[in-house]
């Protein structure tokens, strides 16, 4: 079984420059978890490129099972990334899917 964890964030920044900087920092902080958090099987993260009313940043993360997702979420390095993210977002949307 694989669990796909999908998260979207709305950034709080009001200017395009600050929004881009915050998105880049989110991307860097989450990409840095690859190879550090052993539960991560695949990770894709990036800013929205279409604009309009879309969410600003998205994460797609694959782990082996729900237990692995729980370990990922409790990992101290993940918690550090999450602490920064919470300072620059106004909203978060998440869903966890079983993909096989």
Q: For 10-34, how does the pLDDT look when each residue is reduced to its tens digit (9 = 90+)?
A: 999 999 999 999 999 999 999 999 9
Q: Find, among 19, 1, 21, the residue nearest to 10 by Cα.
A: 19
The stretches of the chain forming alpha helices (DSSP H) are 16-31, 66-74, 76-88
pTM value is 0.94
Q: Average model confidence (pLDDT) for the chain?
A: 97
Work out the pLDDT band at 45, boundaries 50, 70, 90.
very high
Per-residue pLDDT of 59-83, as tens digits, reads: 999 999 999 999 999 999 999 999 9
Task: Name the pLDDT band for 52 (thresholds 50, 70, 90).
Answer: confident
* Residue among 61, 57, 41 nearest 49 (CA): 57
At residue 51, the pLDDT reads 84
């Amino acid at each position: 079984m694989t669990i796909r964890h999908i998260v979207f964030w709305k950034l709080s920044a009001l200017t395009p420059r600050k929004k881009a900087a915050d998105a880049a920092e989110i991307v860097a902080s989450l990409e840095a978890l690859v190879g550090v958090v052993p539960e991560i099987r695949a990770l894709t993260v990036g800013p929205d490129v279409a604009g309009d009313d879309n969410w600003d940043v998205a994460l797609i993360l694959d782990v082996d099972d729900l237990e692995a997702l729980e370990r990922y979420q409790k990992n101290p390095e993940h918690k550090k990334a999450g602490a920064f993210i919470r300072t620059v977002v106004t909203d978060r949307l998440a869903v966890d899917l079983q993909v096989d």
